[in-house]
Every structure is written in C-alpha cells, then in structure tokens.
Structure 1
Amino acid sequence: MRLSLIAAALIAFAPAAQADEITIFAAASLKDALDEIAADWQKNHDDMVVISYAGSSQLAKQIQEGAPADLFISASTDWMDAVQESGDIDPATRKDLLGNTLVLVGTGTPAEAPVTELPALLGDGKLAMALVDSVPAGQYGKQALTSLGLWEHVESHVAQADNVRAALKLVATGEAPLGIVYGSDAVAEPGVGVVATFPADSHAPITYPGAVTKAADTPQAAAFLDSLSQEPAKSIFESQGFTVTQ
C-alpha cells in the first residue's frame, strides 16, 4: 500500500510532457490569415506555433544558413526550388497551397481604372513595391509592368521595400500614393483600396508552396502543413483573398 502511495506521489509531481513547438517561416503576405489559422490550431492542439514573417528570399537564405525552421511557406516556387536544390526541405512534403492576384492600390476608396493608366495616375509620386529583384511580390510586379510596357515609364518612381507588407504600409501611411501588392494585402489593410488588377497573363502564376524542412524536429510540422488545405484554414485563406489550390 505504501509503495502505491509513493508511486502516485511521484506521478503527481513529475513534470508535464513538454508541448511541441512548430516554427514556421512564412511569406509576409500570409500574416493575417496564418496568424488566425495558428490561433485556431492552438485551441485544439498542445503545440505552440511560432511564425516568422519576411520576404521569401530572406527566409529561404536563412533556412539555407541553418535557421531552425520546421516549415517554409514561400510566395514563390523559385525560392522553394532554391531550398529544395540545397537539400534544406523534404521534397516529399512539398505541395502548392495557395494562389493570389496582383493589384495596384491607393489610399481610401479610389476609383478603379485601367492599369495602363498607371503612369498618369502616379504623376511625380512614388510607386511602392517589394524588392523587384528578389522578393516575389516585387518580381511579379516588375514582370507585369514590363509585359504591359509600363516599367520604363515608372522605374524611376519605384520605392522598394523589404517585403510586400512594408510596401503596403508605405501606401497606407501616405508615403507613396500607389503601390503594387497582392489582392490579399488589399483585403488585410482597410486604409487602402484597389485601383486596378493586373491581368493574370502579365506575370508568372502567383503560387505559394509549402514544405517541411530537413531540420524539422517535430512530427506535428507535417500535420500543420496538411491542415492548411482543410477546414477551417481553407475558409480563412479564402476570406483573406487567397485561392486554395488543394
């Protein structure tokens, strides 16, 4: 009897099993939707979800340098290709999760206009964009402007930001009258409105792939990734202006 009481006491004072922590590196444009999805996940699981947001190029380079991420969600297949080629993700877990649109935004509720009117609309003002040579939103934006014959007219007016949310902020705070961001960014920021939507064929398809990293140390990383294509995550993404591809 005494042994049973001692055993019970040891169990009572034993430290609780430590919950897994899922560390996610995600494109900045995912912040509002993914924060909501992570909060919902934590209501039903013991895991802690920690998310670092930045431009996909910056995150990919950090993963290649050994940053301890369990999941990578990029706004570009090119940067996911880069970490796959360097052996930093598990290619068997890679999947295309989301799509998006590319839009021109201004403050308030601007009147919509053909995107070809951008130079006239911009005048001497600045055009906010994410880094055009490395960050996906900036790369898509430059592709679209080039294909429409507008890049040479606006290049000298471009104000580049580290990521698409930073570009969005330049418009929302009035530092730039216009900016090129994703459709989901326009949904997330009530201080801006859509001036024009770029034709889908003016830039490469906007695709968000996700994958478990080779450094992942929790089996829940793959489960969280799979949940992003299911309810309630699917409805959250769609309400934020994304399209769910799986």
Structure 2
Amino acid sequence: MLKKWAILLTALFILAVPVGCSSGGQEPAGGQPNQPAATSAGTDQTDQSKTETPAKDVELMVSAAASLTDALQELKSGFESEHPGVTLTYVFGSSGKLGQQIENGAPVDVFLSASGKDMDKLQEKNLIKQDTRVDFAKNQLVLVANQSSSLQLDSFERITPDKVQHFAIGEPESVPAGRYTKEVLEHLKLWDSLQSKLVFANDVRQVLTYVESGNADLGAVYASDAAIAKQVKVLATADPSWHKPIVYPGAVVASAAHPAEAKAFLDYLQGDKGKETLEKYGLTR
C-alpha cells in the first residue's frame, strides 16, 4: 500500500513542475506578454496618492493662569485670523497646578504663568524652551469686598480678625495670588491671627466667586480680576514692597507639538494688539 502512495505522489509532483514553470511564459490573447509586477505596484501607489488626506489644522494648546482668562479669550480671534489653520485651545487654572500637569506630560504648547516661581520649576527640569521665556505682563494685588459690604478698609494694614468672618485667598501652595497674599499678611504680622478666618480657593476666580456670593467678607485677588467683576469693589491695593513682584512669564513647552506656532503666539502676545488687550484688563507691561 505504501509503495502505491509513493508512486502516486511522485507522479503528481512530476506533473506539477512543468505546469508551474510554463505559467510564467504564457501569453495573453493578442500575443502580448504579461505586464511586469512593478507596473501593478506603481498603479497602487498612484491610487494611494490620490486618496491621501490633507494635513490637519494645528490645534495650539495653551495652559494659562486663570487671571488671564478674559484677555486671552479676546485675543483668540485676532491671532487665529492672522494665522490661518491655527486654532487656540485654552486650559485655565492655577499656575501651580498647570505646571504640575506639564511635569506629568500634559500635551501643552505654551505655558503662561502668573508666577516666576512656577515657571522656574519647569525651567530647572528642562521642561520649557529657555530661549523663548519672556515676561509679558505685570499685575497688582488688591483687597476686595462685596458691593453691598459695609466694611470700611482702605489698606491691608487695617484688617482686624474680629471684624472679619471669612477672608478668601488662593491656596498659597498652588495659586500665585494666594502666595503673594500670604507674603503681604506675613509682612504685616497678620498671617497667624487670621488663620481661622481664611478660606482657600483653587484659583483667583474662585476667590471672586466667594466674595460675590457673600460667602466671604473679603478677598485678595489681582487688579485685573477685580476690574471685570461687577459684584465686588476694591478696598485697597497692596504696597508692591510687601510681596515679590507679580510678573507673568510665558514660554514654549519643551515637548510642544507645534513649537513654531507656539513662538508666534508669544510674539503676538507681546505685540501692539496683545499689549492693548492686556492693559484693557488691568495687566501692565
């Protein structure tokens, strides 16, 4: 039986070889030889090039201090009209938390901080392009109360714990405005005596919310924030010598997906339109 199977398999192999060899030499009807395989591949490449999708528009991710919200929103359309194909996407929050997000790998192109300290942390870790770093604005720290408040204060120095139930400030560890407020209160020897009165907020906009809603008697925010709040009034401005300079640095993030567009945005922020808009919202140069 095994011999019969061996003979049968040998016969089939002999028959298969000439068939396989002769197939390459066959000519189609009309006597023309088959086109080489390379022609078919070329046709496929041509078809692929016709169906390639165009490059996507650039989405520029900007992480910015909450106190810049209104100014940056106004600058958005102007920048986009001058840079077709670029769309600005903002993420607003406290500078400290935004910096932490960048450290953790958040996809950010530009970082705009309300504090040099938070930018320094990223620079020390080579997480920003140092040659793009620029101070583009300055601010002031002010004391605010609800419009209906009867508190009569014309200076941070006149704050007394017995006349205040709740004093809203930014969390000093993550909110630059809170850090500056702490420096002022420590300078005036008021920090310890006000501890039981302090209400900590995630950013300056939340401080405004506390004061506007009546949940806090006083609040410490930037002059730029107070300028756009309709339900609060400014009682006093902190002496600049009581705290570190309130400077806003900006930089292109080292891992930016669109470094050229990010640099263009920083340049726009420093241009005439950027300066005009920042000043409109209480930020100086």
Per the normalisation by structure 1, the TM-score is: 0.89
Letter in 2 for 1:242: L
Any idea what the Cα deviations from partners look like across 1:19-42, whole Å, max 9, x if unmatched? 211100111111011111122212
1:28-67 correspondence runs (5 A): 28-46=66-84, 47-67=86-106
Alpha-carbon separation, structure 2, partners of 1:75 and 1:103 = 15
Maintained 8 Å contact 1:131/1:161: yes
Maintained 8 Å contact 1:22/1:221: yes
Alpha-carbon separation, structure 2, partners of 1:192 and 1:16 = 50
Alpha-carbon separation, structure 1, partners of 2:239 and 2:280 = 21
Alpha-carbon separation, structure 1, partners of 2:250 and 2:155 = 34
Is the partner of 1:50 in helix, strand or coil?
strand
What is aligned with 1:4? none
User: Structure 2 regions of 5+ residues with no counterpart?
Assistant: 1-45
- Kindly indicate whether residue 205 of structure 2 is the aligned counterpart of residue 170 of structure 1: no
Shift of 1:113: 1.4
**Aligned match of 1:117 in 155, 158, 163?**
158
Is the partner of 2:193 in helix, strand or coil?
helix
Alpha-carbon separation, structure 2, partners of 1:89 and 1:44 = 25
1:175-186 correspondence runs (5 A): 175-186=215-226
Is the partner of 1:217 in helix, strand or coil?
coil
Alpha-carbon separation, structure 2, partners of 1:30 and 1:36 = 10
Is the partner of 2:160 in helix, strand or coil?
helix
Maintained 8 Å contact 2:96/2:173: no
Is the partner of 1:228 in helix, strand or coil?
helix
Structure possessing the higher radius of gyration over alpha carbons: 2
Provide the aligned C-alpha RMSD in A.
1.9
Identity score, percent: 37
Per the normalisation by structure 2, the TM-score is: 0.78
- Kindly indicate whether residue 204 of structure 2 is the aligned counterpart of residue 199 of structure 1: no
What is aligned with 1:140? 180
- Kindly indicate whether residue 179 of structure 2 is the aligned counterpart of residue 160 of structure 1: no
Of the two structures, which has the highest relative contact order with CA contacts closer than 8 Å and spacing of 6 or more? 1
Alignment length, in residue pairs? 234
Mean alpha-carbon deviation: is it higher for 174-183 or for 36-45?
Answer: 36-45
- Kindly indicate whether residue 206 of structure 2 is the aligned counterpart of residue 149 of structure 1: no
Is the partner of 1:243 in helix, strand or coil?
coil
What is aligned with 1:188? 228
- Kindly indicate whether residue 134 of structure 2 is the aligned counterpart of residue 104 of structure 1: no
Alpha-carbon separation, structure 1, partners of 2:228 and 2:77 = 17
User: Structure 1 regions of 5+ residues with no counterpart?
Assistant: 1-6
What is aligned with 1:214? 254
Maintained 8 Å contact 1:73/1:209: yes
Shift of 1:217: 1.5
Q: For residues 114 and 93 of structure 1, do their structure 2 counterparts lie closer, same or farther at Cα, with a shift above 3 Å needed?
A: same
Alpha-carbon separation, structure 2, partners of 1:133 and 1:23 = 25
